[in-house]
């Protein structure tokens, strides 16, 4: 038995934030029904991300399918139906399904679903216990509520790009987005948490509710310690956190260092992540520079932060005296946090990643060997599901209508 067995989720979301949320609910055992646009003369049908390739899934004969890797990575353990809810028959069908659902997730523009009688107010009348999660770029209220929300724009507007990237004064400095769509992913995870809390309330009270999730709100919340730094001090004295490259604004040394080149003379780097004073002392012992840990300016982290411009050049010179393998072995043995900077090939070849089962092989309707990143959730009693590969468009039309509505073939 899975944790969310018996929970029915009607998924009207597409692209990433909503599907990431519903994929997690599906992993936990919920019956997630992905409602997709049917093919038409001006659209191939389905979630737009089905066409966001290459790469595309290769079929058994080696040809490209219509299933992009992007889509496959956010839609496992779901069932797919096609329904044109711009038409009266489609609207009626979705209202019948919503009456049987525990959760509905959508990420349409504010007010868009009201045109079809599929908004929170309309469906609450059909199903008072329904948990209705709306995911938008800017929320259901406010001056930006009618704008379309895109992760890239949210990373900029929400401050993330102002603190991501190399320092402006250095080569390559300037704003950078994160390499994956983190505003979408953060919002999907927050939506999952909110839905679980609302389900608990509905079970106890019989009362559903609407959840208003905004990418911008989530991005502002995920400023975390940097947001707190500004509110606690920066707003008063005008200090605004900026880009620090690979360094940490509150901890030193906690950054990337260049080490001795490899046998072919190629530059090498590693991460040194000293999190407390004892670790710094152990690092200094490994580096054969115990006097640095004894220096009153550097012995405690606040001093190392204040005196970073004096300390870091010394550490940079020390780190370049040994190769990456030497540093990793000796620092790890001394319990000083450190690590390599892996590319994705190295990530999936890493023995820890492999032992933790973070790659999962699926049998898909189009291939017998579909490898996808696995869920990181690991339970001692209720493991996550692994029975439904990402669905083909409309693959489960008949099965869902039979299961949810008792319809005949």
* Helix H or strand E segment including 292: helix 290-294
The C-alpha atoms of residue 366 and residue 361 are separated, in whole angstroms, by: 13
Does the bond joining 54 to the residue before it have cis omega, within 30 degrees of 0? yes
Of the CA atoms within 13 Å of residue 33, those in its CB half-sphere come to 28
State the CB neighbour count (10 A cutoff) for residue 340: 15
Beta bridge partners of 359: 373
What is the SS3 assignment for 68? strand
Of the CA atoms within 13 Å of residue 38, those in its CB half-sphere come to 11
What is the SS3 assignment for 342? coil
The C-alpha atoms of residue 111 and residue 362 are separated, in whole angstroms, by: 38
The C-alpha atoms of residue 355 and residue 279 are separated, in whole angstroms, by: 28
Residue 302 backbone dihedrals phi, psi, to 5 degrees: -55, -40
State the CB neighbour count (10 A cutoff) for residue 61: 7
User: Which of 106, 182, 107 minimizes the C-alpha distance to 149?
Assistant: 107
Cβ atoms of 294 and 280 closer than 8 Å: no
Alpha helices in 213-258 (DSSP H): 215-221, 224-229, 235-237
Alpha helices in 175-287 (DSSP H): 182-205, 215-221, 224-229, 235-237, 277-286
Pairing of strands 103-106, 131-136: parallel
Q: Two tokens at 358?
A: 């973070």
Give Cβ neighbours of residue 151 (< 8 Å, ≥ 6 apart). 16, 17, 181, 182, 183, 184, 215
Residue 40 backbone dihedrals phi, psi, to 5 degrees: -145, 180
Q: Two tokens at 329?
A: 């072995």
What is the SS3 assignment for 210? strand
Query: Which is catalytic among the residues 184, 262, 368, 403?
Result: 184
The verdict on whether 184 is a catalytic residue reads: yes
- Report, as residue numbers or ranges, the catalytic residues: 184
């Amino acid at each position: 038995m899975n944790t969310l067995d018996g929970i029915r989720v009607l998924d009207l979301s597409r692209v990433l934030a909503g599907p990431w949320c519903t994929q997690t609910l599906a992993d936990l055992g919920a019956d997630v029904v992905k409602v997709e646009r049917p093919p038409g003369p001006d659209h191939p049908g389905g979630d737009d991300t089905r066409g966001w390739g290459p790469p595309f899934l290769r079929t058994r004969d080696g040809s490209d399918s219509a299933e992009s890797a992007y889509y496959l990575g956010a839609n496992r353990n779901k069932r797919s139906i096609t329904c044109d809810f711009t038409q009266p028959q489609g609207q009626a069908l979705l209202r019948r399904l919503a009456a049987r659902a525990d959760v509905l997730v959508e990420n349409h523009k504010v007010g868009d679903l009201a045109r079809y009688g599929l908004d929170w107010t309309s469906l609450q009348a059909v199903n008072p216990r329904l948990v209705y999660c709306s995911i938008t770029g800017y929320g259901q209220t406010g001056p930006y509520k009618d704008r379309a929300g895109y992760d890239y724009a949210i990373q900029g507007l929400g401050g993330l790009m102002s603190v991501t990237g190399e320092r402006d004064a250095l080569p390559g400095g300037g704003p950078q987005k994160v390499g994956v769509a983190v505003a979408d992913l953060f919002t999907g995870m927050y939506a999952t948490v909110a839905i679980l809390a609302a389900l608990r309330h509905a079970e106890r009270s019989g009362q559903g509710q609407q959840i208003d999730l905004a990418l911008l709100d989530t991005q502002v919340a995920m400023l975390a310690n940097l947001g707190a730094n500004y509110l606690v001090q920066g707003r008063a004295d005008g200090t605004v956190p900026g880009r620090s490259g690979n360094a940490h604004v509150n901890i030193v040394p906690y950054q990337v260092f260049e080490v001795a080149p490899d046998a072919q003379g190629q530059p090498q780097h590693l991460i040194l992540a000293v999190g407390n004073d004892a670790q710094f002392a152990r690092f200094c012992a490994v580096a054969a520079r115990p006097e640095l840990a004894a220096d009153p300016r550097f012995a405690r982290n606040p001093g190392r932060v204040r005196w970073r411009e004096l300390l870091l050049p010394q550490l940079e010179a020390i780190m370049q005296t040994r190769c990456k393998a030497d540093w990793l072995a000796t620092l790890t043995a001394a319990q000083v946090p450190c690590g390599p900077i892996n590319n994705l090939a190295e990530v999936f070849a890493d023995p820890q990643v492999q032992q933790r089962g973070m790659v999962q092989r699926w049998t898909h309707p189009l291939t017998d060997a579909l490898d996808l990143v696995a869920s990181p959730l690991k339970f001692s009693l209720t493991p996550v599901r692994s029975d439904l590969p990402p669905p083909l468009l409309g693959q489960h039309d008949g099965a869902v209508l039979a299961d949810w509505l008792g319809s005949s073939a």
